[in-house]
Amino acid sequence: MKNKIIVLVTLLALLLAAGVTGCKRKAHDQAQLEKVRVVLDWTPNTNHTGLYVAQALGYFAEQGLEVQIIQPGENTAEKIVASGQAEFGVSYQESVTIARAESLPIRSIAAIIQHNTSGFAALASSNIKSPKDFEFKRYGSSGWPSELAILRQVMHAADAFTDSIQIVSGVYDFFSTIGKDIDLAWIYYGWDGVQAKLRGIDITFIPVRDLDPVFDFYTPVLICNEELINLRPETVKTFMAAVAKGYNYCIAQPAQAAKILLKAVPELDPALVEASLLYLKDQFKADAPRWGYQKPEVWQRFAQWMHQKRIIPIGVIAEDAYTNEFLP
């Protein structure tokens, strides 16, 4: 009996010791996580869901990272990443191309959405069905660099009188202005298009990529500081492994991903988040061989177009602006 008691006490002591050691190891591992920051392009929305999933489900921690998701504030994500105030960021192919032309040391490391899901939108009752119908209408502009050049090009291709359109500047909200101050605007279907459907607002949507292949550029993308790529490539690799896992989760389980985003950002509209992710699940990867993949021709043709339109002062080499190197 004494021997049995001794054995039980010994086993209990070993188990307790193992538990304490495990807790210490866990605390030690937590302390050893590499801290990095990722800055969003705008306020949190469904484009960012993969980041929040990777954070909530521990994908970053599995890769040895502690990731802080921050918002840009007064500065742009491109400048914040270029200056080293954040290691990673959310941007757009257009913005990265402009940054490269200005010698900002950033590169795109993944396409969050495989094809451009934005385009021109108008109330169906306005009878605007093509760029030809843009003549003598009021266009609500948010003022991003290539917007008006694209507008005029698609109108010109449709033999529309480009000088007839009235530009209304400073328009950032589609629903408060459409049919009142403006007749058409540029929207992202995955957010405003889905929202219009939920609100029962009948719109006509003209995808810009259907008007000219050159406008099927990547928007949004994930960016990284070039110094980080050169000095700490393993950090970039582990970050991308976790993020890719997060977006693949969004593709496979959009309803669960919506719950994760809503828990992190409770001020968002649940119905909009759920419907948006149901739409985006087929857009994140689409026809690409894997999530995040970027084609050289997409980068090259839009950079050439931007140079031709004098949106950028110098040409940008596509291979300098993006990389697929860190995709899992």
CATH code where residue 143 lies? 3.40.190.10
* One domain, residues 174 and 317: no
- Number of structural domains found in the chain: 2
* One domain, residues 222 and 317: yes
pLDDT at 31: 62
* 191: Cβ contacts below 8 Å, ≥ 6 apart: 45, 46, 272, 276
* One domain, residues 190 and 139: yes
* One domain, residues 265 and 174: no
Q: Which residues of the chain have pLDDT under 70?
A: 1-31
Peptide bond into 220 cis (omega under 30): yes
Quote the distance between the C-alpha of residue 177 and its chain's center.
25
Span 201-215, pLDDT tens digits: 999 999 999 999 999
d(CA 271, CA 283): 19
* One domain, residues 138 and 276: no
d(CA 153, CA 186): 15
Range of the domain at 47: 33-115+218-321
What's the whole-model pTM score? 0.89
pLDDT at 74: 85
* One domain, residues 110 and 136: no
* One domain, residues 223 and 270: yes
Does residue 244 belong to any structural domain of this protein? yes
pLDDT at 239: 98
d(CA 270, CA 266): 8
* One domain, residues 133 and 168: yes
Does residue 128 belong to any structural domain of this protein? yes
Does residue 241 belong to any structural domain of this protein? yes
* One domain, residues 140 and 194: yes
pLDDT at 96: 98
d(CA 177, CA 32): 50
Q: Is the Cβ–Cβ distance between 302 and 219 less than 8 Å?
A: no
* Chosen domain end from 173, 194, 215: 215
* One domain, residues 70 and 111: yes
pLDDT at 29: 58
* One domain, residues 165 and 231: no
